[in-house]
Amino acid sequence: MKTFLTLIVLAVFLWSSPVFAEFCGVSSESAATSCTFKTSYTPKDARITVTHTQQGWAMTVTVTLKEFAMIEGDSTVKTKDGEVYSLEYVSTRRDMAPRRKVKEMPVYLVSEAFLQELGSGKGKVLFFLSAEEPKEVEVKFTSGMFDDMDAFITETKTVLADQFKDG
């Protein structure tokens, strides 16, 4: 009888885990489950958003500028210890922001190892985003903004387990 009750409690817990999820949720309109990690905005109006897609981990870097920079192409990231990572460019979305500013949101495919490095890094993380004018857009984040990255990866792998079966 104890085993049966334990199995019921375990089943209820596993079934309800998305309800208690910090990063994952179900859209009420499409009934699709998605997991998103967002940093807070930096003083220079920059923000990182990480999601998992069928193609892998995707990172969006939102930058608010005075004028368009045309951020396109592969970019690089440098951590405090000097390690340099490459970001594979996918696309850019542009929009107008309040106070006559421009939002550019390039999307990159990134590796899980890179995300874990962001989560465990110490100090500053510098993003060098490829742009037409100026040549690069430099965005600084503190590694503390990524402290919950390991929890995000774990929760995403649990909630979206079907996407991780093949890889």
CATH of residue 107's domain is 2.60.40
Q: 113 is in which domain, residue-wise?
A: 36-155
What is the per-residue pLDDT across 45-82, written as a single tens digit (0 to 9) for each?
899 999 998 889 999 999 999 988 899 999 999 988 88
What is the per-residue pLDDT across 89-140, written as a single tens digit (0 to 9) for each?
999 999 998 888 999 999 999 999 999 989 887 788 999 999 987 688 889 8
**27 lies in a domain?**
no
**100 lies in a domain?**
yes
- What pTM, to 2 d.p., does this model score? 0.81
**123 lies in a domain?**
yes
**2 lies in a domain?**
no
**15 lies in a domain?**
no
Per the structure, the count of domains in the chain is 1
**125 lies in a domain?**
yes
Residue 117 makes CB contacts below 8 A (sequence gap 6+) with 79, 83, 85
